[in-house]
């Protein structure tokens, strides 16, 4: 039990002494580096290039910093299986990113990986106050993305009842909350507010529901959003973090003290680095989160640059867990845009548009917000080569662009044709992305 009376799922691990934890991390890191040196050509080549021999050159955790970072492009270029560290016959499940790179980033899991994953998600849910008595409604997508199934199996490991409602159909989500007496909602922060808006519209009183918890993830959010979710849905809202290339949900999560997300440090080594120089940041300093897996069998990654900006928090937490925490994700340091929990690269949108007519249009990815609903728009400058005088032909081309983008990223955009030269520019170049979410209501 924590000092505040809430159960810790694995107290013998989540409350390890610091010296014991560091020794465990070192042993697991040595085993991981030896595994990738033997089985992953990408890492073996890197080790040879810098003269790094895991058995000889890793004497302490700090030695990890001798190794270069692994990037999103490295994983994408290994598509589909080149970075797997086990034979494909030992891989029992495959997930991938949303396909917003040239190639999706594909991740494999062994039986032990899945067992560990479920256990770590159970930890996260327990730290948010959930127990086997809860009814958990999962509104993340089920499929190749990791969110839905990751939370699902962790909730079952917790012993809770799971409602796999997946994404969308908000009115139906609310109906299920009422009929099935949902106690915990798993969703993006923005979707929690969309649900609150729909409840207002339908005249549903959230106080009459059984809902007590909102476990949020998938996009950056603020303390103001947390307060609004808690006040409008009458829940305790906690943050959690996961990334497909590392595992999915379960990497880190808040306890009920809401003072940052506890990193599952017996399974992951985390660093915060300057996004430009790559040098380590001091505790409390904003930087890019870098993660090294310690127990992944099928798809270990070494010093993976997540692109997510946060801070490392080293102060002790009143809950009694000894793992260090990270702050909420405050944004991105790369060209990735997060919309409705989906990571989108504006440059890749251009690749899709170019497929339609063999010519890359001048375009801009724009996000607007109406109430709490994000809307993806693609503004395209009209040219004689791409668009026609006949309205019907224009409409057909726009429909084809919309469908191809929707198939690629999983979000249906609005295509807006604009005059040549009207897109927002910087230093004479069209900005690839413009965020109007704070300008619209």
66 Rama class: left (phi>0) / alpha (psi -120 to 50) / beta? alpha
**Residues 364 and 376: beta-carbon distance below 8 Å:** no
Same domain, 341 and 233: no
| 111: CATH | 3.40.50.12780
Tens digit of pLDDT for each residue in 372-397? 788 899 999 988 766 666 667 788 88
Same domain, 307 and 426: no
On whether residue 236 sits in a domain, the answer given is: yes
Final residue of a domain: which of 282, 304, 333? Answer: 333
Same domain, 251 and 359: no
On whether residue 247 sits in a domain, the answer given is: yes
Same domain, 362 and 243: no
Tens digit of pLDDT for each residue in 254-303? 999 999 999 999 999 999 999 999 999 999 999 999 999 999 999 999 99
Final residue of a domain: which of 315, 333, 351? Answer: 333
Number of domains in the chain: 2
Structure confidence at residue 371 as a pLDDT band (50, 70, 90): confident
| Alpha carbon distance 346, 14 (integer Å) | 39
| Alpha carbon distance 134, 208 (integer Å) | 17
Task: Quote the pLDDT of residue 91.
Answer: 98
Structural domain span for residue 163: 1-333
Same domain, 77 and 15: yes
| 395: CATH | 3.30.300.30
On whether residue 208 sits in a domain, the answer given is: yes
**Residues 251 and 243: beta-carbon distance below 8 Å:** yes
Same domain, 290 and 374: no
- Mean pLDDT in residue range 69-86: 95
On whether residue 201 sits in a domain, the answer given is: yes
Same domain, 142 and 247: yes
pLDDT above 90 covers what percent of the chain?
A: 72
Same domain, 294 and 174: yes
Report the range out of 10-14, 99-103, 167-171, 346-350 with the highest average pLDDT: 10-14
**Residues 214 and 184: beta-carbon distance below 8 Å:** yes
| Alpha carbon distance 117, 170 (integer Å) | 29
| Alpha carbon distance 146, 117 (integer Å) | 11
- Mean pLDDT in residue range 353-359: 85
Final residue of a domain: which of 333, 366, 391? Answer: 333
Distance of CA 109 to the CA centre of its chain: 17
Same domain, 149 and 191: yes
Tens digit of pLDDT for each residue in 18-59? 999 999 999 999 999 999 999 999 999 999 999 999 999 999
On whether residue 441 sits in a domain, the answer given is: no
What's the alpha-carbon Rg for the chain, to the nearest Å?
23
Same domain, 117 and 49: yes
Same domain, 158 and 220: yes
On whether residue 61 sits in a domain, the answer given is: yes
**Residues 78 and 101: beta-carbon distance below 8 Å:** no
Name, in order, each residue with C-beta under 8 angstroms of 185's C-beta and a sequence gap of 6 or more: 137, 139, 177, 192, 195, 211, 213, 214, 215, 233, 235
On whether residue 440 sits in a domain, the answer given is: no
Q: How far apart are the first and last CA of the chain?
A: 44
Same domain, 322 and 369: no
On whether residue 129 sits in a domain, the answer given is: yes
């Amino acid at each position: 039990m924590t000092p505040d009376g809430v159960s810790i799922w694995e107290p013998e691990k989540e409350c390890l002494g610091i010296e014991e934890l560091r020794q465990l991390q070192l042993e697991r890191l040595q085993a991981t580096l030896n595994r990738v040196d033997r089985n992953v050509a990408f890492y073996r080549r890197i080790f040879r290039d810098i003269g790094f021999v895991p058995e000889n050159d890793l004497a302490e955790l700090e030695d990890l910093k001798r190794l270069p970072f692994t990037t999103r492009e490295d994983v994408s270029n290994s598509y589909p299986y080149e970075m797997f560290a086990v034979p494909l016959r030992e891989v029992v499940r495959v997930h991938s990113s949303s396909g917003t790179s040239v190639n999706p980033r594909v991740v494999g899991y062994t039986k032990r990986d899945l067992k560990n994953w479920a256990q770590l998600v159970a930890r996260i849910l327990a730290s948010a106050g959930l127990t086997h008595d809860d009814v958990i409604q999962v509104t993340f997508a089920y499929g190749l993305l990791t969110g839905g199934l990751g939370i699902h199996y962790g909730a079952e490991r917790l012993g809770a009842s799971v409602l796999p409602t997946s994404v969308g159909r908000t009115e139906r989500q609310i109906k299920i909350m009422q009929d099935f007496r949902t106690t915990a909602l798993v969703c993006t922060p923005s979707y929690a507010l969309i649900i609150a808006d729909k409840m207002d519209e339908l005249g549903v009183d959230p106080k009459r529901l059984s809902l007590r918890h909102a476990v949020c993830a998938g996009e950056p959010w603020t303390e103001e959003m947390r307060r609004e979710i808690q006040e409008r849905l009458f829940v305790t809202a906690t943050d959690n973090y996961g990334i497909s290339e590392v595992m999915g949900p379960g990497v880190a999560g808040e306890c009920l003290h809401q003072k940052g997300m506890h990193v599952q440090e017996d399974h992951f080594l985390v660093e915060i680095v300057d996004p430009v120089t790559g040098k380590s940041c001091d505790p409390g300093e904003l930087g890019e989160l870098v993660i090294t897996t310690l127990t992944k069998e099928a798809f270990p990654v070494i010093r993976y640059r997540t692109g997510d900006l946060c801070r490392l928090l080293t102060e002790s937490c009143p809950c009694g867990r000894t793992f260090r925490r990270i702050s909420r994700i405050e944004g991105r340091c790369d060209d990735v845009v997060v919309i409705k929990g989906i990571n989108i690269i504006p440059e890749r949108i251009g690749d899709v548009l170019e497929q339609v007519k063999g010519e890359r249009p001048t375009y801009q990815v724009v996000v607007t917000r109406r109430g709490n609903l994000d809307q993806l728009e693609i503004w395209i400058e009209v040219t004689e080569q791409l668009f026609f005088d006949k309205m019907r032909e224009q409409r057909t081309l726009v429909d084809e662009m919309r469908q191809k983008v929707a198939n690629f990223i999983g979000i249906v955009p609005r295509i807006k044709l604009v005059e040549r030269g009207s897109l927002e520019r910087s230093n004479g170049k069209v900005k690839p992305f413009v965020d109007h979410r704070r300008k619209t209501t």
